[in-house]
């Protein structure tokens, strides 16, 4: 029997002892084991802090985000193998989808958050704070990656999601992880971790995994580390009280068991969509993952007049739940993770049944499909009913971590809120109602006791992610019994792994530290107009002062007529008495427009588009005959992804200050965003001289760096593609599938090289075409002539579009982009560049 392995200190290893057997939850077969003896925990933690941490901390948020995106795509392509293992945990395909692809989804979601962070390894939080009247002493807050390791102690129910929802966040923050999956399902976590390590996408040390219970894992944690725990409240409290955590002030986040409540609104009577939605949601939350979810509905709180209706309707829904081998399509609920878990649920149900009546299900009898109920860890859904929920308190204290839930009545909404609060804190609550007054009253009064609240009604039902689905952009955690912690939550989650530090100094110094221009900092006069620079060459503080412009009466009146903005201050000077205006006043947006007219560079250049305004303030009115000038300063640069038909670019935020030219008083300011093209420094421009230089250097006996082409085959291939590009050959079907054609077409606009060994659709793989010309010299002459034909065609037909086998329809400019990439690809193939 193979042991589950650990990946620590750069290698896969196993524990020294025989190990604890791990059973298939469906068949009861012992198929692997886990052993941890001999692992050097202090060195494992230190390896992460140094080896993985040093690399991650130096990466920018954009680099980390793109790393996560690449990893998510890599794992998604290999997901099928994980499903086969997941069935062994007792999970159905739907259950496995939540765990596996839900985990990958966390990588995608956190990757997208890179757009909200600066293009640097650390974050600048909030607004600047002026600490002096003169504006020469100020403060800001920065957030830098902690120089520790994230220790994740995970539960058995979601071995993939539980690992990746946490790791995605700490990796995005620049912090490495040591993951400790629960032993009973650690084989699935190991498989995913092995694929991650094999990908080579993460820097070494960013992920280590110990597949087993390590009792001394917290003995050597340090103040820069972060510890997270998902599991029982009892175990969590023991860990939280660990002396080392207290001594080192180590952040500890706990997500514990939770008696989540779902409320049926008084308006949601039988026959309404909300009643049906409620019943389906409860049934789903009872049976998905066989109820082994921290967010499952444990308490069903309904109007007392509807208790019988809910019981009957829910029983009918539960009757449809088939139990058995999760590999079978007809099975809707699999098994629990282990026989130990079955016994734990049985014990909890026996305790609950002392104060509540079992009204559906049987602990001693279960019908299964395709599996032996005795060998597998199977249990029936159990529905209880507690008619006196204020007296029978065990239903608010004891959780059965399986397909178990309890119905209880309420007289009015205040009682429903009180009952929900009697769980002493939960991860999630929900209410099914079509009455927004009821929804508001419940949410506002119950929110103190729940980490998340879902309002379910007919309007949201089709798009609703459901009661039990934590989302990467929302906080996951809850007060009190639920552990008092927070995970995920978009940027909030990432900040848990960053150290917030207040910084003080002059605006100029703070500008240099933050990488964001601060008001009153020294300007860096640009040698030429800032709009002439590419994105890489623009730096915060780069600035220019414009010439002056005087506003006239005619300007203001014309702007009113153009925009139809006839506000009295601009058009009716007889109505100014009692207002803040003294004379005919320039429109605020005319001031901004006039400012743009002063600072915009008119010629074509790297600035490709106006991207919008972030802030705009008018500090005092401007009147006819007032004169202004503008100071334009680069405030901040933000990277962006480009997937459409445009060249790679970033966003530059410009701080536009508008001054009264007579007094130098600042009268308005705005943050203007522009899209600025990045430099193209990857591909060589294919001028006539450069092409001739490469062809002159090409020898008959040259060997390619990749592929099997000879020099003449390469030249004849290029000649053929020029025939396509000049319209001589167009009788073909585009080879790229329609669903990806746009993506492939748009790739012409990026600066990436063609992949080595790219396959041309009309060339047979690993086979050379018959040569058409007698020698290389002739082939080169034919190539040159065909290129001239291509150039001449678009000179005479500048608006033409022609088909390409791979990239679809191309216009003149896109044909140029293809030519540049294609010639670079093959000239580099033969060491000509």
Annotated catalytic residues are: 255, 294
End-to-end CA distance of the chain: 55
C-alpha dihedral, 44 to 46 to 52 to 53, nearest 10° = 150
User: Up-side HSE of residue 342: CA atoms within 13 Å toward CB?
Assistant: 22
- Helix (H, G, I), strand (E, B), or coil: what is residue 627? strand
Closest CA to 544 of 603, 602, 631: 631
- Helix (H, G, I), strand (E, B), or coil: what is residue 568? helix
In the block, tokens 């444990």 appear at 298
- The DSSP bridge partners found for residue 253 are 228
Burial of 135 (0-12, 13-18, 19+ CB in 10 A): middle
Burial of 764 (0-12, 13-18, 19+ CB in 10 A): exposed
- Helix (H, G, I), strand (E, B), or coil: what is residue 495? helix
Cβ pair 225, 151 in contact under 8 A: yes
Q: What are the structure tokens assigned to 390, written together?
A: 């204020």
User: Max CA-CA distance within the chain?
Assistant: 99
- Whole-angstrom CA distances from 103 to 90, 189, 333, 786 are 18, 11, 21, 52
CA 751 to chain centre: 24
- Helix (H, G, I), strand (E, B), or coil: what is residue 457? coil
Cβ pair 717, 709 in contact under 8 A: yes
- Whole-angstrom CA distances from 236 to 65, 239, 257, 482, 485 are 31, 5, 10, 10, 11
Dihedral sign of CA atoms 524, 527, 530, 533 in order: negative
E-assigned strand segments in 728-827:
802-804, 808-810
CB atoms within 10 A of CB 117: 23
- Whole-angstrom CA distances from 184 to 23, 269, 634 are 8, 42, 55
Cβ pair 46, 152 in contact under 8 A: no
Quick one: how many helices (H) and strands (E) in the chain?
24, 30
- Whole-angstrom CA distances from 483 to 168, 221, 258, 646 are 21, 20, 9, 48
Bridge pairing between strands 11-13 and 6-8? antiparallel
Closest CA to 188 of 151, 166, 209, 160: 160
Burial of 738 (0-12, 13-18, 19+ CB in 10 A): exposed
In the block, tokens 């899209």 appear at 675
- CA–CA dist 101, 83 (Å, integer): 10
DSSP-derived secondary structure for 62-85: HHHHHHHHHHHHHHHTTHHHHHHH
- CA–CA dist 236, 374 (Å, integer): 32
Closest CA to 76 of 100, 47, 59: 100
C-alpha dihedral, 549 to 552 to 556 to 558, nearest 10° = -100
- CA–CA dist 285, 283 (Å, integer): 6
* Measured CA angle at 111 (ends 188, 222), to 5 deg: 70
CB atoms within 10 A of CB 734: 17
- CA–CA dist 728, 554 (Å, integer): 58
- CA–CA dist 477, 489 (Å, integer): 10
């Amino acid at each position: 029997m193979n042991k589950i392995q650990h990946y620590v200190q750069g290698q896969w290893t196993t524990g020294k002892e025989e190990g604890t057997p791990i059973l298939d939850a469906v068949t009861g077969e012992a198929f692997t084991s886990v052993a941890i003896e001999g692992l050097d925990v202090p060195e494992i933690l230190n390896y992460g802090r140094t080896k993985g941490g040093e690399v991650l901390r130096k990466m920018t948020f954009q680099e980390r985000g793109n790393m996560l995106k690449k990893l998510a795509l890599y794992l998604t392509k290999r997901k099928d193998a994980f499903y086969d293992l997941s069935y062994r945990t007792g999970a159905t395909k739907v259950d496995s989808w939540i765990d596996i692809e839900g985990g990958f989804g966390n990588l995608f979601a956190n990757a997208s958050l890179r757009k909200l962070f600066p293009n640097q390894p650390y974050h600048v939080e909030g607004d600047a704070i002026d600490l002096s009247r003169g504006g020469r002493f100020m403060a800001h807050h920065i957030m830098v990656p902690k120089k520790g390791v994230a220790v994740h102690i995970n539960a058995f129910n979601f071995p993939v999601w539980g690992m990746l929802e946490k790791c995605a966040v700490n990796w995005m923050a620049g912090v490495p992880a040591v993951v400790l999956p629960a032993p009973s399902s650690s084989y699935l976590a190991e498989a995913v971790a092995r694929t991650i390590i094999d990908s080579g996408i993460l820097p070494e040390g960013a992920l280590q995994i110990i597949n087993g219970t390590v009792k001394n894992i917290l003995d050597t944690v340090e103040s820069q580390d972060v510890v997270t725990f998902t599991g029982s409240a009892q175990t969590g409290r023991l860990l939280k009280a660990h002396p080392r955590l207290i001594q080192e002030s180590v952040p500890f986040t706990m997500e514990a068991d939770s008696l989540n409540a779902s409320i049926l609104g008084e308006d949601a009577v039988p026959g309404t969509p909300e009643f049906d939605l409620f019943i389906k949601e409860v049934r789903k939350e009872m049976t998905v993952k066989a109820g082994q979810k921290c967010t499952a509905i444990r308490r069903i709180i309904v109007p007392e007049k509807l208790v019988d209706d809910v019981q009957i309707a829910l029983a009918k829904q539960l009757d449809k739940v088939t139990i058995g081998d999760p590999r079978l399509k007809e099975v809707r609920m699999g098994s629990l993770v282990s026989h130990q878990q079955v016994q734990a649920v049985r014990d909890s149900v026996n305790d609950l049944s002392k104060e509540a009546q079992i009204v559906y299900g049987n602990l001693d009898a279960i019908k299964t499909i395709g599996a032996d109920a005795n060998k597998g860890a199977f249990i029936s859904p159990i529905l209880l009913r507690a008619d006196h929920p204020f007296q029978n308190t065990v239903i608010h204290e004891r959780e059965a971590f399986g397909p178990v839930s309890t119905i209880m009545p309420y007289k009015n909404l205040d009682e429903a809120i009180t009952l929900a609060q009697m769980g002493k804190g939960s991860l999630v609550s929900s209410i099914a109602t079509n009455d927004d007054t009821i929804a508001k009253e419940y949410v506002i009064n119950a929110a103190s006791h729940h980490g998340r609240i879902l309002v379910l009604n007919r309007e949201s039902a089709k798009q609703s992610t459901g009661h039990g689905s934590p989302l990467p952009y929302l906080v996951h955690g809850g007060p009190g019994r639920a552990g008092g912690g927070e995970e995920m939550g978009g940027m909030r989650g990432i900040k848990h792994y960053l150290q917030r530090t207040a910084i003080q100094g002059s605006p100029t110094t703070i500008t240099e530290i933050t990488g964001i221009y601060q008001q009153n900092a020294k300007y860096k006069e640009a040698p030429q107009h800032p709009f002439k620079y590419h994105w890489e060459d623009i730096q915060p503080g780069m600035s220019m002062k414009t010439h002056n412009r005087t506003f006239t009466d005619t300007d203001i009146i014309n702007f009113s007529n153009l925009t139809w903005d006839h506000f009295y201050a601009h058009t009716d000077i007889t109505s100014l008495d009692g207002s803040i205006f003294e004379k005919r006043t320039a429109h605020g947006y005319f001031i901004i427009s006039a400012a743009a007219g002063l600072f915009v560079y008119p010629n074509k250049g790297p600035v490709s588009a106006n991207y919008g305004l972030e802030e705009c303030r008018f500090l005092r009115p401007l009147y006819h005959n007032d004169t202004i000038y503008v100071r334009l300063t680069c405030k901040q640069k933000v990277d962006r992804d480009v997937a459409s038909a445009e060249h790679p670019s970033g966003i530059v935020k410009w701080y536009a200050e508008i001054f009264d030219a007579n007094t130098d008083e600042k009268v308005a300011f705005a943050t203007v965003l522009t899209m600025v093209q990045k430099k193209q420094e990857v591909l060589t421009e294919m001028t006539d001289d450069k092409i001739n230089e490469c062809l002159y250097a090409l020898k008959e006996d040259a060997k390619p760096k990749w592929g099997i082409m000879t020099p003449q085959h390469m030249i004849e291939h290029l000649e053929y593609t020029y025939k396509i590009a000049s319209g001589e050959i167009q009788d073909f079907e585009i080879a790229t599938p329609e669903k990806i054609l746009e993506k492939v077409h748009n790739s012409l606009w990026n600066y990436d090289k063609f992949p080595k060994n790219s396959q041309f659709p009309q060339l047979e793989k690993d086979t050379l075409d018959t040569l058409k010309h007698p020698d290389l010299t002739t082939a080169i002459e034919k190539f040159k002539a065909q290129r001239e034909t291509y150039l001449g065609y678009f000179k005479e037909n500048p608006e033409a579009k022609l088909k390409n086998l791979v990239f679809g329809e191309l216009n003149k400019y896109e044909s140029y982009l293809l030519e540049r990439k294609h010639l670079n690809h093959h000239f580099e193939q033969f060491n000509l560049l």
